[in-house]
Structure 1
Amino acid sequence: MLISRHQGFTLIELIIIILIVSIVTTLSYPNLSGIWHAQRASSQISTIEQTLHLARNHAINLGTQVTVCPIIANKCHSDWNKGMSVFIDVDANGQLNGADKLLMVINEFNANDTVQFNRQRVRFLSSGLSSGSNGTLTYCPHAKDNPNSQALIINNAGRIRRSHASSIRCD
């Protein structure tokens, strides 16, 4: 009886394994990018939702107006891709100045993504109402018509909820 003392792999076996792994990786990449976009959209819309809840809670607890908006040169701006700031807006002018107090800042969103809201700012009154700030905030990862896009709806009563629409677009 012959006993083989082979241990390990031959060069041909290693090349075949590497080839199989590279083919599987190449075939699965498009699915992985979709998963990545879905995860990023879910994570970012959760962050935005939590930020809006924080702003509303601060307005109620502190008995003052709190504003959420993207700030450029200490003024609310309409480019929501630049991130957002939450601040106590003492003079209710949509500017971070004077006695206003900055509560929180969210950095700029991914450059490939689109964040849109139909207003320059969301303001919560001391009662928690967002009168005049109602609208839909949309987050579209990678493309304006991405199927993984998500949206938040803010009503005049200050209620924030996720949209369950089947096709959300950033136009």
Structure 2
Amino acid sequence: LCALKDSQCTKDEWNGQMSLFIDKDKSTSLDDDELLLSTFEEIHEADSLKYPRSAITFRPDGSLNGFQNGTFIYCPNSNKANLEGLA
């Protein structure tokens, strides 16, 4: 799962559209022979979403790959928001 820019996962694009794909060669890029499973819409333009890695990787059983994959930080920038940020 990552934000793709020019078919390559990038950690600076988490606000944009997310893509979930099978990365056969573990290159963190979507190659022509790899299957795109799903895409997720970008977050609201006034909000921000940060993550310290370029991708979230999963094991074949669906669990996260690695003990400390990182923390998402979501900051709503809305008059209706009760919280300044969520991690």
Normalising by structure 2, we get a TM-score of 0.81
Question: Which of 60, 77, 85 does residue 19 from structure 2 map onto?
Answer: 85
Match of 2:57, SS state, is strand
Which SS does the other structure have where 1:124 is aligned? coil
Task: Provide the secondary structure at the position in 1 that maps to 2:28.
Answer: coil
**After the TM superposition, which residues 1-171 of structure 1 pair with which residues of structure 2 at under 5 Å, given as runs?**
68-78=1-11, 79-127=13-61, 128-131=63-66, 134-142=69-77, 147-151=83-87
- 1:39 is matched with none
| Cα offset, 1:115, TM superposition | 0.2
Q: Could you list the runs of 4 or more consecutive aligned residues of structure 1 that deviate by over 3 angstroms after TM superposition?
A: none
Measure the CA separation in 1 of the matches of 2:85 and 2:77: 9
Residue 100 of structure 1: how far off its partner (Å): 1.1
Equivalent-residue separation in structure 2 for 1:129 and 1:121 (angstroms): 11
- Cα–Cα, structure 1 residues 102 and 133, in superposed 2: closer, same or farther, change >3 Å? farther
> How far is 1:97 from its partner?
0.4
What residue ranges of structure 2 are gaps of 5+ in the alignment?
Answer: none
Cα displacement string for residues 96-145 of structure 1 (whole angstroms, at most 9, x for unaligned residues) = 003211011012211111100010110012242411761101111117xx
Mark the runs of 5 or more structure 1 residues left unpaired by the alignment: 1-67, 152-171
What percent of counterpart residues are identical?
A: 32
The structure having more radius of gyration, on CA atoms, is 1
Relative to its length, the structure with more helix (as a share) is 1
Per-residue deviation, 1:148:
4.5
AA of the residue aligned to 2:2: C
Q: How many residues align?
A: 82
Letter in 1 for 2:73: T
Greater relative contact order: 1 or 2 (C-alpha under 8 angstroms, separation 6 or more)? 2
2:4 counterpart letter in structure 1: I
Q: Distance in 1 between matches of 2:7 and 2:58?
A: 19
